[in-house]
């Protein structure tokens, strides 16, 4: 066993946490990603020494040298996952080892130190246990957990860093989108190209999407859809979310993983659930022109986005330079989308059976 997987954690939690009254006020309307819990996890890496100094400590600002490698060469990766409060008051995580495995793949692509999967998951457990009072209990609310790693070595030179910080922070959150279907802008910008970092969960991919997101807002859209970088016709993914299509024969389709699309854990879970429901599922290329034609003919009945933050969110309209494509009634959630969403949420929140062992009880 890698010695890093059994690192002892020094517990030095915040001696002046937010008061119970103030925390209750925050949890009554948590928003998304603006308020953070009392503590965080910090683990250090140094080439030749490995992972060491694992700590749970008060949430605080970082002190970085101006020449820290992350600031100049963007060696940075992150994950997004959630902790849920069950009806019985317990707290669970959803597929934490899948996040840990994807984190390792992202680190490999960005030439960063590998965090052992058990160490990754244990760091998340430690923070959730210390800050368990921050986990909301209302429907559509959860504790959003952000593990991330940055290159902290001080140097100027184009090479992989030899020092890293792995950290975990958390934020109580409500629904990312509301219950109504959203409108999506079909962007002329590209998110990722073959051979690039599209499959890695690194900040640069999201930075590259921000101008497109701004453009979407100017057109009254909540999200953006990216096409492939080569032919500019094949649908890939949205700004941080995967996308699914439901057709009039009840079949479900999503773009195939080609190295430019993030391997969404929610995506993978929904594919499994759809097959278990007896739906015909395809992972295949789907063109934007075909989407417009299928929406007009009625063949395309439902479209939804999925991801850790949004979970499952219906899409009612695609907008672009070629006009609008309305999906269904353009406003509500379709029956297949709703069924898949309820099945996933039921497992995540412990109200449905978990035959795959996706849920881990932390408390």
pLDDT at site 1: 47
Are both 10-173 and 182-349 of the same fold? no
Predicted confidence band of residue 20 (pLDDT cuts 50, 70, 90): very high
Which helix (DSSP H) or strand (DSSP E) does residue 279 occupy?
Answer: none
Q: What is the pLDDT of residues 255-269, one digit of tens each?
A: 999 999 999 999 999
Backbone angles phi, psi at 360, to 5 degrees: -115, 125
pLDDT at site 61: 97
Q: At what angle do helices 335-348 and 265-276 cross, to 10 degrees?
A: 110
User: Does the structure show a pLDDT above 70 at 363?
Assistant: yes
Report domain extents, the chain.
Answer: 10-173, 182-349
Backbone angles phi, psi at 334, to 5 degrees: -80, 165
Which helix (DSSP H) or strand (DSSP E) does residue 238 occupy?
Answer: strand 235-238
Question: Residue 238 has which token pair?
Answer: 């949205």
pLDDT at site 322: 87
- Marked catalytic residue, from 82, 105, 201, 217: 201
Q: How many Cβ atoms are within 10 Å of 335's Cβ, its own excluded?
A: 13
Q: What is the pLDDT of residues 288-325, one digit of tens each?
A: 999 999 999 999 999 999 999 989 999 999 999 889 99
User: Does the structure show a pLDDT above 70 at 5?
Assistant: no
pLDDT at site 2: 59
User: Does the structure show a pLDDT above 70 at 355?
Assistant: yes
CB 206 within 8 A of CB 76: no
Across all residues in the chain, what is the average pLDDT? 95
Question: Residue 326 has which token pair?
Answer: 């309305």
| Residue 105 annotated as catalytic | no
Provide CATH code, domain 182-349: 3.20.10.10
CB 125 within 8 A of CB 362: yes
Provide CATH code, domain 10-173: 3.30.470.10
Q: Any alpha helices (H) in 15-95, and if so which ranges? A: 20-28, 69-73
Q: Distance between CA atoms of 261 and 75, rounded to whole angstroms? A: 19
Q: What is the pLDDT of residues 63-76, one digit of tens each?
A: 999 999 999 999 99
Q: Distance between CA atoms of 91 and 278, rounded to whole angstroms? A: 31
The model's pTM is 0.96
- Residue whose C-alpha is closest to residue 78's, from 193, 173, 207: 207
DSSP at 219 = T
Which helix (DSSP H) or strand (DSSP E) does residue 88 occupy?
Answer: none
Q: What is the pLDDT of residues 92-125, one digit of tens each?
A: 999 999 999 999 999 999 999 999 999 999 999 9
Question: Residue 183 has which token pair?
Answer: 């409108």
Q: What is the pLDDT of residues 207-261, one digit of tens each?
A: 999 999 999 999 999 999 999 999 999 999 998 899 999 999 999 999 999 999 9
Question: Residue 345 has which token pair?
Answer: 């949420």
Across 4-26, average pLDDT: 94
Question: Residue 51 has which token pair?
Answer: 């992972």
pLDDT at site 176: 80
User: Does the structure show a pLDDT above 90 at 129?
Assistant: yes
pLDDT at site 50: 97
């Amino acid at each position: 066993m890698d010695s890093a997987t059994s690192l002892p954690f020094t517990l030095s939690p915040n001696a002046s946490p937010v008061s119970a009254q103030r925390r209750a006020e925050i949890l009554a309307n948590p928003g998304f990603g603006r308020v953070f819990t009392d503590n965080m996890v910090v683990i250090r890496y140094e080439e030749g020494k490995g992972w060491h100094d694992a700590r749970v400590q008060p949430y605080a600002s970082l002190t970085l040298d101006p020449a820290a490698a992350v600031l100049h060469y963007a060696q940075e990766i992150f994950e997004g996952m959630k902790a849920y409060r069950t009806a019985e008051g317990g707290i669970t995580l959803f597929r934490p080892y899948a996040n840990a495995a994807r984190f390792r793949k992202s680190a490999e692509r960005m030439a960063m130190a590998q965090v052992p999967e058990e160490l990754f998951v244990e760091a998340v457990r430690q923070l959730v246990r210390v800050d368990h009072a921050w986990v909301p209990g209302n429907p559509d609310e959860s504790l959003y957990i952000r593990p991330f790693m940055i290159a902290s070595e001080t140097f100027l030179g184009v090479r992989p860093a030899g020092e890293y910080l792995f950290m975990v922070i958390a934020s109580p959150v409500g629904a990312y989108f509301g219950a109504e279907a959203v409108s999506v802008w079909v962007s002329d910008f590209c998110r990722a190209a073959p051979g690039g970092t599209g499959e890695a969960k690194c900040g640069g991919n999201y930075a590259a999407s921000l101008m497109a997101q701004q453009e979407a807002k100017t057109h009254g859209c909540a999200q953006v859809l990216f096409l492939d970088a080569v032919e500019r016709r094949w649908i890939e993914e949205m700004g941080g979310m995967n996308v699914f299509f439901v057709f009039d024969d009840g079949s479900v389709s999503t773009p195939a993983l080609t190295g430019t699309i993030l391997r969404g854990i929610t995506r993978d879970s929904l594919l499994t659930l759809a097959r278990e429901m007896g739906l015909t599922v395809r992972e295949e290329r789907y063109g934007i022109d075909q989407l417009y034609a299928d929406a007009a003919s009625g063949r395309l009945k439902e479209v939804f986005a999925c991801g850790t933050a949004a979970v499952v969110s219906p899409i009612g309209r695609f907008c672009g330079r070629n006009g609008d494509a309305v999906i269904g009634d353009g406003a509500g959630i379709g029956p297949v989308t709703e069924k898949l969403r309820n099945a996933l949420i039921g497992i995540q929140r412990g109200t449905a059976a978990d035959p795959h062992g996706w849920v881990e009880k932390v408390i």
